[in-house]
């Protein structure tokens, strides 16, 4: 990280597959205590936000830290961290708020329509709905996909995106994780500052929107993909799994604490 000593680093992190491993049961995607402590220390050194496809409440429940900013539903539910122990998170921006009643209606319909597909699971992520098929037999995948597509035909203002063993139903608005990252940079007072370096770590294709913003930051942003296999990505660096993310975050903290002594460490 040579050359970053006098820069203002702002850290952005995905959750699933980045801070926690991908697991069979999405309700049990817990982060380790070591990872939690590492993120806590990172947030002491740099402004830090977690931008997840999960609902904001769910990811906050998993992370359990008060000194980070949380954005759920792929950045459609944004809050800033409290400035004191007595302050609760303030809802900063919800660009898809008007869609909430319809989103809940879609969730209910999907739960009913997918009930007979063994292994299918519908997750309420507040501003989007996820249909998990990790436990669905291969012979039933086409049937499940057609059921979801048929439901969406009734809702022209929504679309389907694909993730890791999941279909996500989202309102069709011009907003994604990249926009959420830009919103945070603006809210935190880092817009158009030449010494700001956004650092984004994520594993999902939805993180590519954030990587795109990072590389447009005058060439000084850092985009890191988490993947055990080579992928077509906008990211310039990669880490294999959450264990390597943990090691990198610990090195980042150590570098910051030692930077006054001009000790730097390169990216893995």
CA distance linking residue 191 with residue 15, whole number of Å = 25
Cβ atoms of residues 213 and 75 within 8 Å = no
**Dihedral of CA 164/48/5/183: which sign?**
positive
The strand pairing partners of 8, in sequence order, are 196
Contact 238, 203 (CB under 8 A): no
d(CA 128, CA 145): 17
Distance CA 168, CA 186 (A): 28
Catalytic residue from among 14, 77, 203, 209: 14
| Mode of pairing for the β-strands spanning 237-239 and 222-226 | parallel
Residues near 115 by beta carbon (within 8 Å), at least 6 away in sequence: none
203 is an active site residue: no
Token pair 């906050």 is found at 60
Catalytic residues: 14
């Amino acid at each position: 990280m040579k050359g970053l000593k006098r820069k203002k680093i702002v850290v952005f992190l995905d959750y699933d597959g980045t801070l926690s491993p991908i697991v069979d049961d999405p309700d049990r995607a817990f982060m380790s205590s070591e990872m939690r402590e590492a993120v806590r220390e990172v947030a002491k050194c740099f402004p830090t936000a977690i931008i997840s496809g999960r609902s904001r409440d769910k990811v906050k429940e998993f992370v359990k830290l008060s000194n980070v900013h949380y954005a759920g539903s792929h950045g459609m539910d944004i809050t800033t961290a409290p400035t004191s122990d007595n302050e609760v998170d303030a809802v900063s921006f919800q660009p898809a708020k008007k869609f909430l009643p319809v989103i809940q209606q879609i969730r209910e319909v999907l739960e009913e329509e997918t009930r007979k597909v063994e292994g299918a699971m519908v997750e309420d992520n507040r501003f989007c709905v996820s249909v998990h098929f990790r436990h669905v037999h291969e012979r039933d995948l086409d049937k499940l996909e057609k059921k979801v597509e048929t439901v969406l035909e009734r809702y022209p203002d929504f679309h389907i995106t694909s993730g890791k063993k999941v279909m996500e139903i989202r309102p069709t608005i011009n907003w994604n994780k990249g926009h959420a990252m830009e919103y945070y940079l603006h809210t935190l007072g880092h817009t158009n500052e030449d010494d700001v370096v956004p650092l984004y770590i994520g594993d999902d294709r939805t993180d590519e929107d954030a990587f795109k913003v990072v590389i447009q930051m005058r060439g000084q942003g850092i985009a890191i993909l988490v993947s055990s296999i080579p992928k077509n990505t906008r990211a310039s660096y990669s880490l294999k799994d959450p264990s390597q993310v943990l090691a990198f975050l610990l090195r980042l903290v150590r570098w910051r604490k030692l930077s006054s002594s001009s000790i730097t460490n390169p990216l893995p």
